Structure 1
Amino acid sequence: MPFNYYVIYKPFQVLTRFGKEDGKDSLADYFKVPSDVYPVGRLDYDSEGLLILSNDKSLNNKLLDPKFAHEREYWVQVDGAIDDPAIRQLRQGVQITVDGKKYQTRRCNAEIFNTEPVVPERNPPIRFRKNIPAPWIKLVLREGKNRQVRKMTAAAGFPTLRLIRYRIAGVTIEGIQPGQMREMSQREIYGLLFG
């Protein structure tokens, strides 16, 4: 049986599944794929960006097994003028709560964007406040706890306003907009993820 591989840009406020829940939009409202295709991993309802869809179970295992520690790059708009001490704190790891227990995040790459990244408009947009800056930072993690990025920026004192997953290993959302999809071959996606 041939496997299918899709790279999608999951829009804001869309569930990372094909079934409905509480009248919320799901992937089925945006993407038409074979019925045995499912999301590899997850992306929160209020987050947006890169999601891989496939019916290749071995891809799922390789991508989600912590021992492989694939890089995941997030573009995060934060509330307030984040500074170098907060960035250093994020790089070294911060304490968050996971399943009711304290957890120290691993070291990661963190930096402030010098110029605002070019990203699609979000609907609805983040709340604009004239006197409070909302800069963008880049976080590159090698782990993926539930709501980890939001918990990390909050722990550093700068809550997340908007969160976009831009990249997993070599796969990015470059050139696709929210609600769009790009089909890939097994060779292509495996090369970008594990090459």
Structure 2
Amino acid sequence: MEAHRYFVIYKPFDMVSQFVSPDKVNLLCDLDYPFPEGTHAVGRLDNHSEGLLLLTTNKKVTRLLFQSEVPHRRTYLVKVKGAMSGETLQRLRHGVPIRIDGGEEYVTTPCHIEITQKPVTIAERSFELPANAPHTWLLITLTEGKYHQVRKMVGAVKHRCQRLIRVSIEDMTLGNLQPGEVREVPEQEFFELLKITGY
């Protein structure tokens, strides 16, 4: 039996986390990389989000990573419109009410969040607001993943999300990958960095 393979990619903005779609959208198969048959995304990033996405031929990974009893840390670099105050930062740290599926109100669990600078490895985008327009870069680490949670959280405190980049899951990081680039990871290293046991 052929060994499973594991990949980390920087999913670009305006690309869905799928290889096949009935819609006219940018797909993972458009990346310039010879993925083996049976490769699929572990979890997903929405079309307007970018950054770390895991791909593998091992169908067990999604269950082991996102459906396990032990939550896994996910860290996002987020650019929001306007200057965020320390008071607002504290509100986000302690949890804010957001709407989830069915319109139900849900209070987010406490998270780690800090104001940061945009890393030099993250390229500017030509269609973004000018760099001198008021904005704040945040580093947010969650252990839960409700639908569009980060966007809803910053929206709940009156800051519009302008850019959302997943930079790590546990100890698996983007590193110096640029949009569209792919890095293959050995199996043992893949599971160790993601802190997955019992595989």
In structure 2, C-alpha distance between the alignment counterparts of 1:21 and 1:118, rounded to whole Å: 37
Structure 1 residues 125 and 32: CA distance shift in structure 2, 3 A? farther
In structure 1, C-alpha distance between the alignment counterparts of 2:159 and 2:93, rounded to whole Å: 14
**Equivalent residue of 2:177, what SS?**
coil
CA offsets 1:130-172 (integer angstroms, 9 cap, x no match): 5x41120000000011110000000011111000000000000
- TM-score after normalising by structure 2: 0.91
**Equivalent residue of 2:89, what SS?**
helix
CA displacement at 1:129 relative to structure 2: 7.5
Paired residues of 2:16 and 2:28 also in contact (CA < 8 A): yes
Are residue 102 (structure 1) and residue 105 (structure 2) matched?
yes
Uncovered stretches (5+) of structure 2, i.e. residues with no partner: none
Aligned residues: 193
Match of 2:30 in 1: 29
Paired residues of 1:16 and 1:42 also in contact (CA < 8 A): yes
- TM-score after normalising by structure 1: 0.93
CA offsets 1:36-90 (integer angstroms, 9 cap, x no match): 0100001010000000001212221111115221000000000000111111011
- After TM superposition, the structure 1 = structure 2 runs for residues 3-152 of structure 1, keeping only pairs within 5 Å, are 3-30=4-31, 31-65=33-67, 67-99=69-101, 100-113=103-116, 115-128=117-130, 130=132, 132-152=133-153
In structure 1, C-alpha distance between the alignment counterparts of 2:126 and 2:151, rounded to whole Å: 19
In structure 2, C-alpha distance between the alignment counterparts of 1:142 and 1:46, rounded to whole Å: 21
- Which stretch has the larger CA shift, 11-20 or 115-124? 115-124
In structure 2, C-alpha distance between the alignment counterparts of 1:117 and 1:184, rounded to whole Å: 23
CA displacement at 1:20 relative to structure 2: 3.4
In structure 2, C-alpha distance between the alignment counterparts of 1:121 and 1:188, rounded to whole Å: 28
Match of 1:191 in 2: 192
Question: Structure 1 stretches (4+) deviating beyond 2 angstroms?
Answer: 115-125, 127-130
**Equivalent residue of 1:135, what SS?**
strand
Paired residues of 2:121 and 2:176 also in contact (CA < 8 A): no
**Equivalent residue of 2:189, what SS?**
helix
In structure 2, C-alpha distance between the alignment counterparts of 1:21 and 1:140, rounded to whole Å: 33
Structure 1 residues 103 and 23: CA distance shift in structure 2, 3 A? same
Paired residues of 1:69 and 1:143 also in contact (CA < 8 A): yes
Q: Which amino acid aligns with 1:106?
A: T
CA displacement at 1:94 relative to structure 2: 0.7
- Which stretch has the larger CA shift, 51-60 or 73-82? 51-60
Identity %: 37
